[in-house]
């Protein structure tokens, strides 16, 4: 069995952050039943280009493999009945909605405790269920600005810059998945469920980590560093080579000495201006100008070979294509394939969570309401008459016209 095969999650989720969290729980074996709103055509990410047609998109495939889909109107009495019947046989109700919406949809613990005393209600919202911003919408790039990330990213003389990836969303998904595991563990131990009130804002601010500690304790205002440099360790940054870029890191004094030898400047190691971390930080501009000259004389491959031989941490600055073609990517089996009725073979990236010796199985993302019969008749044991009545009443979306 996969580690989480005995866990069932009802996911009222959409787009990136929420589905990214349940994606990893599904890969670990959890049964994730994705509740999709019928009046909007389901998860909005079904319509994100490129690679989009009808209700299918490669974006949706990326975040929803190994899940099941049930189209369900939670505002419809029949839809609410189905939802509460699912709550009775599930461990988690998981959502990523605006902070004030779980109360309106009645999917908090106080709403569902009468149905299932042990249910864990996990809400991942932009700003959480409390505070002056609780009712505001939030998106990754907005939060990168609001939480101070963009003030730290980019060149000192350039504009504030976002990350090229939606890291607030993805980290928020991991945080939500961690909360689900802790919540389910406690609920099974104590027989009592709870709310997990998680916020992308909290995630983003907490990830300031030591930079936040420096400011809160010493009043040190972090600043953008040239060439993606480390805020305190020098050298630890990009250098331009004859044909590209290379990242060089000296987080230990031994690496600094090895670097000086490798670039043909052994005397730099004993220069009092560069003798230790503090000295190199104080004289960073002078030192980096000195280092830039030798790096520009050799191509990236030549420097990688030379620095690796000297035991200096280094890496090329890859393009996405180069990163996916790296031998380590293949060795770690990070690229996986799923068969899809519209896209044929979809090649995408496996998650990083490894538990046990075998990689998790891969199943394509579901079509909207694809698992309706399996959930309704199989899991909930509804008979055909009940399903027909619920369908006619609009529980799963607008009732079909009479034939």
Residue in 230, 283, 318, 340 annotated catalytic: 230
CB within 8 Å of 68: residues ≥ 6 apart: 31, 32, 33, 34, 366, 370, 371, 374, 375
User: For residue 281, how many other CB atoms are within 10 A of its CB?
Assistant: 15
Which of 235, 283, 231, 232 minimizes the C-alpha distance to 262? 235
DSSP bridge partners of 95: 12, 123
Distance of CA 64 to the CA centre of its chain: 13
What's the number of CA atoms in the CB half-sphere (13 Å) around residue 132? 0
Report the distance separating Cα 351 and Cα 338, nearest Å: 14
Q: Are 224 and 188 in contact (CB under 8 A)?
A: no
Does residue 230 carry a catalytic annotation? Answer: yes
Query: Tokens at residue 383, please?
Result: 């008979």
- Three-state DSSP class for 313? coil
Q: Are 105 and 121 in contact (CB under 8 A)?
A: no
Helices (H), 10-57: 17-27
Q: Are 177 and 30 in contact (CB under 8 A)?
A: no
List the catalytic residues: 230
């Amino acid at each position: 069995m996969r580690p989480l095969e005995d866990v069932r999650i009802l996911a009222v989720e959409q787009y990136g952050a929420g589905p990214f969290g349940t994606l990893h729980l599904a890969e670990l074996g959890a049964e994730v039943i994705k509740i999709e709103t019928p009046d909007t055509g389901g998860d909005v990410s079904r319509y994100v280009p490129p690679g989009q047609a009808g209700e299918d998109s490669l974006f949706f495939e990326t975040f929803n493999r190994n899940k099941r889909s049930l189209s369900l109107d939670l505002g419809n009495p029949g839809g609410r009945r189905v939802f509460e019947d699912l709550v009775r046989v599930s461990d988690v109700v998981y959502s990523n909605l605006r902070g004030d919406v779980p109360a309106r949809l009645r999917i908090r613990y106080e709403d569902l405790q009468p149905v299932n005393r042990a249910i864990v209600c996990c809400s991942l919202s932009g700003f959480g269920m409390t505070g002056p911003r609780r009712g505001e919408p939030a998106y990754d790039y907005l939060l990168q600005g609001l939480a101070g990330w963009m003030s730290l990213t980019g060149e000192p003389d350039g504009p504030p810059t976002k990350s090229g990836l939606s890291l607030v969303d993805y980290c928020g998904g991991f945080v939500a998945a961690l909360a689900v595991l802790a919540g389910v563990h406690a609920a099974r131990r104590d027989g009592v469920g709870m709310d997990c009130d998680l916020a992308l804002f909290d995630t983003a601010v907490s990830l300031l980590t030591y930079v936040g500690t420096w400011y809160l304790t010493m009043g040190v205002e972090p600043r953008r560093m040239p060439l993606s440099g480390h805020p305190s360790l020098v050298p630890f940054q990009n250098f331009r080579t004859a044909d590209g870029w290379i990242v060089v890191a000296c987080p230990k004094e031994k690496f600094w000495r090895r670097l000086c030898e490798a670039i043909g400047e052994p005397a730099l190691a004993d220069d009092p201006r560069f003798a230790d971390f503090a000295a190199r930080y104080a004289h960073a501009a002078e030192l980096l100008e000195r280092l830039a000259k030798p790096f520009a004389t050799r191509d990236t491959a030549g420097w990688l070979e030379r620095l690796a031989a000297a035991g200096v941490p280094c890496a090329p600055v890859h393009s996405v294509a180069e990163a996916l073609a790296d031998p380590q990517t293949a060795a770690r089996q990070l690229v996986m394939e799923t068969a899809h009725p519209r896209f044929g073979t979809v090649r995408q990236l496996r998650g990083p969570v490894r538990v046990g010796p075998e990689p998790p199985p891969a199943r394509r993302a579901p079509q909207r309401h694809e698992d309706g019969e399996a959930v309704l008749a199989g899991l909930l044991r509804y008979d055909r008459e009940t399903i027909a009545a619920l369908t006619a009443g609009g529980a799963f979306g607008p009732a079909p016209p009479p034939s």
